[in-house]
Amino acid sequence: MKVLGLNGWTERGHDGGASLIVDGKLVFSIEEEKLICKRHAYDTIPKESIKECLKSQNLSLDDIDRFVFGWDFEKIYEMLGKKFISKEEMSKALFDDKKYADKLDYLDHHQAHAYSTFIPSNYDEALVFVIDGQGEYMGTSLFLANRKTNEMKLLMETPISLGYFYAGITQQIGFRGGEEGKTMGLASYGKPVYLNELRKLISFDEQEDIKCAFHIDKVSKDEEDASLEKWKELLSEFIPKREGKIIEVTEEIMPYADLAMSAQKILEEIMTGIIRKYVKETGVHNVCLAGGVALNCPTSSAVERMEEVDKVFVQPAANDGGISLGAAIKGSIDLGETPVIEMIPYQGPEYSQKEIEKALKEKEYDYEIYDDIEKVIAKLISEGKIVANFQGRLELGPRALGNRSLLASPEKYESLVRMNTLKGREVWRPLAPAVMYDKQTTCFDSDIFSPHMTKNFNVLNEMKNRLEAITHVDGTARIQSVTKEYNELFYKIIDEFYQITKIPVLINTSFNVKGEPIVCTPEEAIDSFERMNLDYMSIGKCLIKRKQ
Ligand SMILES: [Fe+2]
């Protein structure tokens, strides 16, 4: 059976995409933003993603047995007292043809998140925690999932949104919507001095799960704006809203770093509180996380450290970029299949050596071809160069995990400054390391496998002066554990670097120009390489140098 999962619409649409499951196996998944080169692909139908999914398997729409859309628009409209367009019209909008209406299903948004993380976790049973801005009408939900019975039982749901809370904090600091990652980075500079003030506004509550000073339960597409307005009003009672960029973390900024740290602690208290309560109630000790807030690494690491919790799986595309995957999984289950999804995030398009060389020739690049390109890359990095690495299949999710990455040595603080400057990022923001998993404990205080860069660990004291560029101000790093099985070439690159320097770590940050999504095609890679004025790029087996 062939199932196409979908996300992305002209209203409330962001981070759309498509995923294709064939006979219970995930064969392709991509976010629309990477194909149309527009971050988050707001209010866009995922037409290019659909095309790419079909092209990858030489299929046509007629070959697809089921289409599942990861939002239940009929439910939203019903609650608004309106009627959503018919399935025929929806089919026409998505596929330019009405004839697929009978094969089209809608899936509750939080359920799509839940399936996207539970099935790839491969746990038999788990508590599945979905934390995002807002689903059809809920902000936070918790399910008890069972693989054998295929049950996804709702244990808790509330319209209170931790996503909007964190977005409110982000805007109070003066960052823009979508810059929650900056708040997370800034938090490490601060102390939780506003914890008590924040607890009065939002906190874990044994009876209600989350207690909030306000909640909006009326469904409205303006709900996000209304929540943000309310948070601004409440937060402004003890700290004024800041305006403008944060170039440096100065004394003047410290209260905002403290606010960010206080918000981290609140998030941690609520999430661990809820999980503790439901572990006790169900006796289930494994946890799966999804929803944009699950990308908050210190918090998911705090969940992992809980005594009551055995294992934690974080979906790499925890944001709405993973919705099409969850929708496809549910479609496959509904067709009687038992999808087994190995969550290898390299699910996008790849390009042949021939296609790569054609693109390089068109741009008039001289290139060298190497069969052992990993050695060449490692040597350049060990000499202090930044190398753009374009290899294999594109990653799913917001993090580049080696295939569309900028790589550099983690040794000196200057690397952090150079890399952040190149990417147009503030210098105070941390960069993440990729580490050979078999040598992880020689640098970090945990042997937990973190292949998707979703967990934070402490850098060992004795390694801090050798890992200056990736040790954040609080001594932690958001690591990517790399194994040969997961990404052979990337592992080899780090290994070659290790042979030269005895450091099994590289800086790994996404290959994209500021404000743009991660590059997808060789042409985009070459174009970004030029615009970022990079020195070297390894692309397939080719190495190119900046034109003089
Ligand atoms: Fe979501």
- Mean pLDDT in order along the chain per 10 residues (548 residues): 97 92 98 96 96 98 98 90 95 98 98 98 97 90 96 95 96 94 96 98 96 76 83 96 95 98 98 98 98 94 96 95 98 96 92 98 96 98 97 96 98 96 94 98 96 95 97 96 96 98 98 96 97 96 92
Say how many Å lie between the CA of residue 321 and the centre of ligand 1: 9
| DSSP sequence for 323-359 | HHHHHHHHHHHHTT--------SB-S----HHHHHHH
> What pTM does this model have?
0.96
Determine the pLDDT at residue 428. 96
Say how many Å lie between the CA of residue 333 and the centre of ligand 1: 21
Say how many Å lie between the CA of residue 213 and the centre of ligand 1: 23
CA atoms within 13 A on the CB side of 173: 35
Say how many Å lie between the CA of residue 112 and the centre of ligand 1: 9
- Let me know: does 381 contact 506? Beta carbons within 8 Å: yes
Say how many Å lie between the CA of residue 405 and the centre of ligand 1: 26
Say how many Å lie between the CA of residue 113 and the centre of ligand 1: 7
Say how many Å lie between the CA of residue 140 and the centre of ligand 1: 10
Say how many Å lie between the CA of residue 260 and the centre of ligand 1: 22
Say how many Å lie between the CA of residue 293 and the centre of ligand 1: 9
Q: Is residue 392 left, alpha or beta, with left meaning phi > 0 and alpha meaning psi from -120 to 50? A: left
Say how many Å lie between the CA of residue 282 and the centre of ligand 1: 25
Neighbours of ion ligand 1 (CB under 5 A): 132, 320
Say how many Å lie between the CA of residue 129 and the centre of ligand 1: 12
**Which runs of E-coded beta strand occur in 97-256?**
104-106, 125-131, 140-146, 151-158, 202-205, 209-212
Determine the pLDDT at residue 342. 87
Determine the pLDDT at residue 218. 61
What letter would DSSP give residue 103? G
Say how many Å lie between the CA of residue 70 and the centre of ligand 1: 9
Determine the pLDDT at residue 343. 82
Say how many Å lie between the CA of residue 292 and the centre of ligand 1: 6
Determine the pLDDT at residue 308. 97
Structure tokens, 99: 């004839």
Say how many Å lie between the CA of residue 110 and the centre of ligand 1: 7
**Residue written as tokens 């661990």?**
272
Say how many Å lie between the CA of residue 442 and the centre of ligand 1: 37
Say how many Å lie between the CA of residue 398 and the centre of ligand 1: 14
User: How many angstroms separate the CA atoms of 330 and 339, rounded?
Assistant: 9
- What SS3 state is found at 194? coil
